[in-house]
Amino acid sequence: MAPNRQDHIVPALERGNDMISGRPHPAGLIGIGSATMGRYREFNVCLHLVTTPPGSGIVWKISVNLALNFNNMCRDVMADKNLQWLWILGDDHMFYPDTLIKLLARNVDIIAPLCLRRQSPFTPVIHDSVEKGHPRLGWDFINGKTGILEVPTIGNAGMLIRRNVIETMGENWHSVGAYNGEINATDINFCHKARKKGFKIYVDLDNPIGHINHFAVWPCRQRRTGDDKLQYSFQVYPALDKLPPGYA
């Protein structure tokens, strides 16, 4: 048995079964992976306020081995047939109360909110495929676009994975350093394996998530003067006691 399986699932606070998609959403598991417990108070506040479907649970996996954390979350989902999705979070993120419900409403196999790196140059956590050397895809890749966008590889911050993906991949979920022994790359490895199984991966450009340092870095977007093209950028919020206003 994996060494941190002793963590138990606790019920998520049921704050209504939001009907954004016109139907109730199934129960699932919010999985938090970190090397230590509760680094950021702001994350705990967001977690307390998030809307979850009835019957959902929360589990916190603590280990310096991120692949172990994420794989044990997948095993917890597999162990309970009532859990139909896994929402992966790190404890260095901020998000709106309806972030999870909006991701569920997209009704796709794998999707993550738009997230930026927590250090300069604060670019989107989106990469090209492993076959192409997984280079970072910058602002030009998303400028002018809205809604959900298919991507080769995306970070696992806020990644929503449906149960059928976890079942199909069959214990071959996350691994460390499979393509470069000097980097962690669990998210790159997972996306590569999922795509090889035929699953598509999406980023939700309408659903941003904040990344906490000693401040929070949030995506922002605005219409460019002249041609009215939608452009994405970043904004830094030094105050962590409240969420920024949503997209204009």
Phi (first) and psi of residue 89, to 5 degrees: -135, 145
pLDDT > 90 fraction of the chain, expressed in percent and rounded:
52
* Residue extents of the structural domains in the chain: 10-237
pLDDT at 105: 96
Q: Given a cut of 70, is residue 8 above it in pLDDT?
A: no
Phi (first) and psi of residue 125, to 5 degrees: -85, 70
Q: Given a cut of 80, is residue 137 above it in pLDDT?
A: yes
Q: State the pairing for strand pair 216-223/230-237.
A: antiparallel
What one-character-per-residue DSSP string does 138-193 give?
-HHHHTT--SEEE-SEE--TT-EEEHHHHHHHTT----SSSS-TTS--HHHHHHHH
Identify any residues that bridge with 230 across adjacent strands, giving them in sequence order: 223
Q: Which uninterrupted H or E stretch holds 109? A: none
Per-residue pLDDT band for 180 (boundaries 50, 70, 90) equals: low
Assess whether the previous peptide bond of 135 is cis (omega < 30° from 0): no
Per-residue pLDDT band for 62 (boundaries 50, 70, 90) equals: confident
CATH class entry, domain 10-237: alpha beta
Q: What is the mean pLDDT of residues 77-82?
A: 95
pLDDT at 181: 52
Please state, rounded to an integer, the average pLDDT across all residues of the chain. 85
State the DSSP code for 130. Answer: G
Phi (first) and psi of residue 213, to 5 degrees: -120, -120
- Kindly state the tokens that stand for 7: 């963590």
pLDDT at 197: 94
pTM, whole model, 2 decimals?
0.85
Q: Give the orientation angle of helix 66-78 with respect to helix 186-196, to 10 degrees.
A: 40
Q: State the pairing for strand pair 29-34/57-62.
A: parallel
CA–CA separation, 243 and 248 (whole Å): 14
Residue 224: strand, helix, or coil? coil
Q: Given a cut of 70, is residue 169 above it in pLDDT?
A: yes
Q: What is the mean pLDDT of residues 177-200?
A: 79
Amino acid at 82: N
Q: How far is CA 34 from the centre of its chain?
A: 14
More confident site: 24 or 107: 107
Q: What is the mean pLDDT of residues 19-31?
A: 78
Each residue of 220-230: b (16+ CB within 10 Å) or e?
bbeeeeeeeee
Helix, strand, coil percent content, the chain, rounded in steps of 5: 20, 25, 50
Q: State the pairing for strand pair 110-114/10-11.
A: unpaired
Q: How far is CA 85 from the centre of its chain?
A: 12
